[in-house]
A and B are shown apart, each in its own frame.
Chain A
Amino acid sequence: MTEFLQQLINGLALGSILALIALGYTMVYGILRFINFAHGDIFMLGAFAGFYLAPKIATLLPTPSIWAGLAVLGISMVICAVIGVTIERLAYRPLRRSPKLAVLITAIGVSLFLEYTGQLVFGAAPKKFPDLIPVYPLTHFGGLSINSNQVLVLGVTLLLLLALRFITLKTRIGTAMRALSFNPEAAALMGINTDVVISFTFALGSALAAAAGILYAISYPAIDPLMGILPGLKAFVAAVLGGIGNLPGAALGGIIIGVTETLVSGYISSTYRDAIAFGVLILILLIKPSGLLGKKEIEKV
C-alpha cells in the first residue's frame, strides 16, 4: 500500500508537468486546429533559460531559495512567451490560409530547427540543472518518501491551472479566445482582433511550457536539447486523450498519462514505459473517439 501511494505521488508529479505542456497543445489546437509540433521544444527552451538564468539570479538573490526559484520561473516564462509569439509570427502566420499539412510540416521544421540549433548553442551533452530550490525531505507520512520538490511541482501546477482558468473565463481576452475557438469567422466579424488573440494564445501556452520545463528540470536535473521530444509527444497524447481543444481535458489527460506510466513502470515493466501513453490513448479513443471530455463533432453535408 505504501509503495502504491508512493508511485501515485510520483505519477501525480510527472502528470502535472505533462498537463502543463498539454495545455499549450490544446489551446493552440482549439483556436488554429493544428498540432504545434514545436511545443515540446519550447519546454526544452524553458529548462535551458532556467539553466542560464540561475547563475545570474544567484548574484542578486541567495540561492538555493524559494525566491530565486520563483524569479527564474517567472523570467523563463516571459522569455519563452516571447519566443512562442515570434515563432507564430514568422513561421505560422504566413500559412494561415494554407492547407493544414503545410503548417504541420512547418511546425516540424521549427521543431527540428530548435533542437539542432540547441545542440549547436547549448552543446549536445546533458547538463546538470543547478540547485535552485532547497529540497527538504518530508518523510513523516508513514513510510512514504515525499520531498518538498514534489509538493512544489503540484502546488505550482495547481496555481498555474487556476490562473489559466481565471484568464480564459473571466478576462476579455480569455472570452475572445473562447469565441475564436468556437468560430473564427464570426469572432472576427464581432470585432475581435484575431491576430492579437492568436499571439496571446501562443504566449500563454509557451509560458506554461516554460514553467513545465523548469519544474521538470528541478525534478530530473539532467537537461539536453532533445529532452523535449518525448515529454512533448506524451503531452500531446494527453491533450488528445482528454479531448483536444478542451482545457480541463488536457489537464486530466496529463495526470492520467503520468500516473499510468509511473504505475506500469513500477509494477509491470519499465522497458515498456514509452509505449504505455500510446496504449492508453488507443484504448480510450477506440471507446470514445473524441477523447474523454471532448465534444462529438457532428458532420454536416
Chain B
Amino acid sequence: MMFKHAKLLLLAALGLSLLASFGADRINPYVLFIVYDIGINIILAVSLNLINGYTGQFSLGHAGFMAVGAYTAASVTNQFGTLNPAVSGAVFFGALLAGGLLAAMAGLLVGLPTLRLKGDYLAIVTLGFGEIIRVVFQNLDRVGGARGYSVMHGYTDLFWTFGLVAVTVYVVTSLVNSTYGRGFIAVRDDEVAAEAMGINTTKYKVTAFVVGAFFAGIAGGLYAHSKQFITPNGFNFMESIAIVVMVVLGGMGNTPGVMLAVILLTILPEVLRPVAEYRMVIYSLLLIVLMLTRPQGLFVWRRKIPEAVP
C-alpha cells in the first residue's frame, strides 16, 4: 500500500507545513489564497470520499456541514476579539475544533434517521438537509442572516491549511485501511452480504457520516478565516455538488486521485480567468468530456470501482 509509512508521512507533512509557513510572506497573496482553497477543498473532498467513495453512501449535503463549521468557528473567534499572537493560535484551534464537533453533531442528527434510505433517495434527502441548514443560517440574525457575516481575523495560514490537510488524509486513510475500516468497504461493496457477515451496517454508515461531517466542519472553519466573509449562499447545493464532482473525477474511494482532481479543478477556473465570460462554459464542457472519456475517474488505472449507487 502507498500509505504503509503513514505516520512518518504525516510527521513529514506537518514539519513541511511548519517550514512552509515561515516562507509565506514571500509568496504572492493571490497564489497563497489559491493554495488555501486547494487545501480546504482537499479536506472537503477527502472527507466526502469516506462517505461516498469508501462507504458508498451517496451524500449531497457536504456544504451544509461546512456551513455549520464555518459559522461556529467564525463566531467563536469573533467572540474573543483581537488577541496577541501567542494565544490566537490556541483560540483558532479551539474554534476549528468546535466547528468540527458541531458539524459532526449535525452529521449524527442527519445521519441517524436518513441513512436507512438508499441511493438516490439518500442523495436527495442529504441535499435537502444541506439546504435546510443554509436556510436556517439565512434566518439567524445573530450571524448576519442573508446579509452575510464578517470574520474579524484571517487566521488561516499555510501552517493550518497544510497541517489539517495532512491530518485529514492521515485519519481517513488509516481509518479505511484499519481492520475497522474494512467494514466501510464491505458496506459499499454489498450491504446485504456485509450484514450477513455480522457487520452492523448502520453503525458503519453513521460513523462514516459523522467523521466526514467533522472534517467538513473543520474545512468550513478554515474557509471562514480565509475569506473573512461568509454568506449562507456560499454553502448552497451547488457547493456540495462541486465537492462531489471532485470526488467522482478523482475516482471514488481513491484518496490520492481525489487530491489530484481537487488541485486540477481548483486551479482550472483560475487559469481560465482571462476568458472570463467563457470560463464556466469551458469548465462545464470539460466536465462532460472528462466524464465521457474516463467515467471511472481521471486517476484510476488499476481496479474497477464497483457502482456506488445501486
Contacts and interface: CB of A to CB of B under 8 A. Distances in A.
Contact of A109 (B113, B116, B287): B287
Given A116-B281, A282-B114, A282-B128, A99 B292 contact: no
B237 A112 contact: no
B128 A278 contact: yes
B296 A102 contact: yes
Contact of A240 (B121, B192, B295): B121
A98 B124 contact: no
B222 to A, nearest CB: 25
Given A35-B124, A285-B121, 6 more contacts: A102-B295, A105-B291, A116-B281, A117-B281, A237-B124, A285-B114
Contacts of A282: 114, 125, 128-129, 132
Interface residues on A, range: 35 or more
A233 B237 contact: yes
Contact of A99 (B129, B249, B283, B295): B295
A271 interface: yes
Nearest to A281: B128
B284 A116 contact: yes
Interface string B256-287: 00000000000000000000011011011101
B309 A285 contact: no
A35 B287 contact: no
Contact of B291 (A109, A116, A277, A289): A109
Contacts of A94: 292
A272 interface: yes
Most chain A C-beta atoms within 10 Å of own C-beta, residue among B139, B193, B295, B305: B295
B244 interface: yes
A272 B140 CA distance: 11
Contacts of A269: 139
Interface of B: 58, 113-114, 116-117, 120-121, 123-125, 127-129, 131-132, 135-136, 138-139, 192-193, 196, 237, 241, 244-245, 248-249, 252, 277-278, 280-281, 283-285, 287-288, 291-292, 295-296, 305, 307-309
A238 to B, nearest CB: 11
Given A102-B248, A116-B281, A240 B124 contact: yes
Given A106-B291, A237-B128, A35 B120 contact: yes
Main secondary structure of the interface of A (DSSP, over half): helix
Given A237-B128, A282-B128, A289-B116, A101 B283 contact: no
A109 B288 contact: yes
A289 B117 contact: yes
Contacts of B291: 95, 102-103, 105-106, 109
Contacts of A95: 291-292, 295
Contacts of B278: 120
B277 A301 contact: no
Q: Which 4 A-B pairs have the closest CB atoms?
A: A278-B128, A102-B295, A109-B287, A98-B295
5 contacts: A101-B307, A105-B287, A116-B281, A275-B131, A289-B117
A277 B244 CA distance: 23
A135 to B, nearest CB: 32
Given A95-B295, A101-B309, A281 B138 contact: no
A110 B117 contact: no
Given A105-B291, A109-B287, A299 B280 contact: no
A234 to B, nearest CB: 10
B288 A99 contact: no
Contacts of B131: 274-275, 278
A108 B132 contact: no
Contacts of B125: 281-282, 285
Contacts of A289: 116-117, 121
A244 interface: yes
A221 B76 CA distance: 44
B183 to A, nearest CB: 19
A279 interface: yes
